[in-house]
Amino acid sequence: MARAMRVFAVLLLSMLFISPLLSVPARSQQNVIHVLNYSEYIDYRVLDLFEKETGIHVVYDEYESAEEAWPKLKAGGQGYDLIIIAHTHVAVAREQGLLHKLDKDRIPNLANLDPRIANHPADPNQEYAVPYMWGTTGFAYNKECGGSPPRTWKEFFDPEVLKQYKGRVSLLSEFSDVVEPAMIALGLDPSDKANWNKETADSIVNLVLSVKPYIVGFYGASQYMPELAAGRLCLAQAWNGDILVVQENNSNIEYVVPEDGATFWVDYMVIPRDAGNVAGAEEFINFLLRPDIAAMNVKAVWYASSVKKSLLQEVAEENHDDELEEILENPTVYPPNNAKLYPSPVLTGNMLNLLEDIRLKVLTGETSGGESGGGLSPAYIAALASAVIVVLSVSLYVRRR
């Protein structure tokens, strides 16, 4: 009996220590916020400065594509207090009640927003979402690879063009940035929601599958950036700021704004429905909208800030910061007025479902006719495993709540 009691006591103590680790992180700690952001998308010194100024510690995680962050947002946030996500998903998140309404009194630096970016249709009044950074989707080309590089999306999605770079081409892991350029290649305007239909979806699937044998994979920034820098990729769908960073290590990499048009996007800061530290998240949003902090992030990631360019220029002048001044004048970061840009659309629920259907068909190798290449491909198994993990994660989260 004594031994049994000792075992029981050990088990009880173990449960007391382990249970907090299994719960949603930092629910009761108002001096901690959990943040989820795209990879390579902040000056990490900003996190330390925020903690020193506010006493709030930031637990910071990264992801590669909106398809990774979306299930977490749909599940209430899964412990995150702030998630930075593409504009494409903001409207759907609002409609489904997944976002916490913002207390604007806690975010006075909203006044620093560039009106053009602030008025984006994802949330033009910043009721639930605040613009973080914006940029374009084009593609990168390694001049050392030779050949005749594409200059349009139509050429980029041409198997005859890509076969000369077989195994050294990557598409983006964020599928909205695959689908929208594919629409442009087909002669369609991706910002016109009328083009988001079953017929177009079938054409996109067939187009992407036609070049799939020549690509090495669907890469996020943390994957294609080092591969381009090392010269292992010849062509890569890419976001403009990343390529400016890559060029510091490899001057042979060129960013191409396709002549038939690049897509223009905005990333947003949102507070999930079940965030544990809303006040801390709002304080962090306000901090990121400070011109000096926004300038640090612009210099680190080479993307255009949602903060007014004029305010960033003041920071550059006050600090005699030639590097910041150079970035602010760089047409790859801030495109000229004559650049052909398509605004990436805000997705509705139906559009999001269409996007997911395209993604799964491309990953599994299924044609528009519903046929696949026979057997279970590695991509099919990976997609199926991802779906199972998402379902299990949501299920466990619901049970914990």
Largest Cα–Cα distance of the chain, in whole Å? 84
* pLDDT (0 to 100) of residue 373: 41
* 356 belongs to a structural domain: no
The phi and psi torsions of 307 (rounded to 5 degrees) equal: -75, 145
* 399 belongs to a structural domain: no
* pLDDT (0 to 100) of residue 391: 36
* pLDDT (0 to 100) of residue 339: 85
CA-to-CA distance for 194 and 6, rounded, in angstroms? Answer: 69
Question: Which residue range is the domain that position 94 belongs to?
Answer: 25-133+266-328
Quick one: tokens of 80?
């995150």
CB 327 within 8 A of CB 302: yes
CA-to-CA distance for 5 and 164, rounded, in angstroms? Answer: 72
The H or E element that residue 86 is part of is: strand 82-86
CA-to-CA distance for 251 and 287, rounded, in angstroms? Answer: 34
* pLDDT (0 to 100) of residue 315: 98
* 298 belongs to a structural domain: yes
* 118 belongs to a structural domain: yes
96 Cβ contact list (under 8 Å, min separation 6): 74, 349
* 12 belongs to a structural domain: no
- The per-type count for the chain, helices as H runs and strands as E runs, is 17, 11
* pLDDT (0 to 100) of residue 371: 44
The H or E element that residue 204 is part of is: helix 198-211
* 182 belongs to a structural domain: no
The H or E element that residue 179 is part of is: helix 176-185
* pLDDT (0 to 100) of residue 29: 56
* 378 belongs to a structural domain: no
The mean pLDDT values, 10 residues at a time, for the chain of 401 residues are: 36 37 44 96 98 98 92 95 95 95 98 94 96 96 92 97 96 96 97 96 98 96 96 97 93 95 94 97 98 97 96 98 96 87 91 96 76 41 44 34 27
CATH of the domain at 80: 3.40.190.10
* 319 belongs to a structural domain: yes
Count the domains in the chain.
1
Quick one: tokens of 370?
């519903």
Beta partners for 86? 267
